[in-house]
Amino acid sequence: MKRSERAALWFVLPSVFLVGLFSIYPILESARLSFYRMILMLPWLGDKYVGLENYRDLATDPVALDSLAVTLVFVGASAALEVLVGLGMALLLNESFRCRGLARAAVLVPWAIPTVVSSQMWRYIFNDRYGLFNFLLFGRATERYLAPLADARLAPAAIIFADVWKTSSFAALIILAGLQTIPDELYEAADVDGATAWQKFRRVTLPLVKPALLLALLFRTIDSFKVFDLVFVMTQGGPADATNVLQFYGYKKIFAEGMIGYGSAIAVGVFCFSLVLSFLYIRLIGASVLEKGAAR
């Protein structure tokens, strides 16, 4: 097959080129730029090599550290909630009932909606004067209405809620795939052994769906790091940087303020986080494939 291996190279070349140019090279370039001080759209001002100064600034920048905290809280809370809600949805969708296809389609709708549309939609619903959210909570008592997006304590919760609403169905799909690999016979055997519904869930379902749960958790964690659209549209990082997630902070630094050197340091930081997570993901697929192989 050696002749054909050379043909394989040609098949793969276009994608290698594009991925290399727009993903691999930029990462390396971001790392390089993080050692400079320069303005993005004013190249004639030149660039100045500053070594690790950007990183030192980053480590002591209170906004950056707050941003890290905000991001970690967001990632942790939304990933955990998405897996929980996803598990619930998956358990329901795993049962057979008429119109199961319709239910599944309904659950997929939030996923299909563009994130900016979803963000504007939640802005409308969270509106402090006529939003549906306030009406459902307080009825006509408009003087008690909240302004979640303008409240530094509520805004993060609002963003988390919006993210969970939109992406739990993705987690649900992954978990559902895992649930469907559990053979019916195991439940039947548990029935014969005298197990209650709760016991079946705890002792048959849960252990066997754990790989899928972990997968969904990891996937959602990696994805949550990328949150941007929600923050841009709903809060622009505010109020008072309460929702200033890392990706948004980096965007502001590079594209609003033009500080590409400093912004690249932020970018490199975020990248390292997600790299660690993606290695975990790859090890996990390896492990879950081994598990699947053993079960067979």
Partner 1 sequence: MRPLLRFLAIAAVVVYSLLPFLWFVLASWKSPAQLTAIPPEIVPAFHWGFYRSAVTTYGLLAYIRNSAIVAGATTAVSIAIGALAAYALTRFRSTWLRFYLVVLLCVSMFPQIAVAGPVWRILDALGWLNSYPGIVIAYISFSLPLAIWILATFFKELPYEIEEAALIDGCTRPQALKRIVLPLAAPGIFTAAILVFIYAWNEFFFALIILTSPALQTLPVGIALFPGEYTMPWGELAAASTIATLPLIALTLFFQRRIVRGLSAGAVKG
Considering only residues 215 to 254 of the shown chain, the ones binding partner 1 according to CB under 8 A are 215, 219, 222, 225-226, 228-229, 232-233, 246-247, 250-251, 254
Give the span between the Cα atoms of 29 and 25, in whole angstroms: 6
In whole angstroms, the minimum distance from the beta carbon of 274 to partner 1 comes to: 5
| Interaction between residue 16 and partner 1 (CB under 8 A) | yes
Residues between 129 and 168 that touch partner 1 (CB under 8 A): 129-130, 132, 135, 139-140, 142, 165
Give the span between the Cα atoms of 271 and 291, in whole angstroms: 30
Interacting span for partner 1 (CB under 8 A) from 46-54, 55-63, 184-192, 277-285: 277-285
List 8, 157, 206, 240, residue binding partner 1 (CB under 8 A): 8
Residues between 65 and 104 that touch partner 1 (CB under 8 A): 88-89, 92, 95, 97, 101, 103-104
List 63, 146, 154, 177, residue binding partner 1 (CB under 8 A): 177
| Interaction between residue 204 and partner 1 (CB under 8 A) | no
Q: Which two tokens stand for residue 104?
A: 């599944």
Give the span between the Cα atoms of 137 and 207, in whole angstroms: 38
| Interaction between residue 106 and partner 1 (CB under 8 A) | yes
Give the span between the Cα atoms of 274 and 71, in whole angstroms: 12
Give the span between the Cα atoms of 204 and 162, in whole angstroms: 32
List of E strands, the chain = 36-37, 48-49
In whole angstroms, the minimum distance from the beta carbon of 25 to partner 1 comes to: 7
**Mask of contacts with partner 1, 24-53, x by CB under 8 A?**
xxxx-xx--x------x-------------
Give the span between the Cα atoms of 269 and 28, in whole angstroms: 13
Helix (H) or strand (E) holding 93: helix 62-94
Radius of gyration of the chain (CA): 24
In whole angstroms, the minimum distance from the beta carbon of 204 to partner 1 comes to: 15
Give the span between the Cα atoms of 47 and 42, in whole angstroms: 10
| Interaction between residue 184 and partner 1 (CB under 8 A) | no
Residue 36 pairs with which residues in a beta bridge? Answer: 49
In whole angstroms, the minimum distance from the beta carbon of 207 to partner 1 comes to: 18
In whole angstroms, the minimum distance from the beta carbon of 254 to partner 1 comes to: 5
Helix (H) or strand (E) holding 184: helix 184-193
| Interaction between residue 187 and partner 1 (CB under 8 A) | no
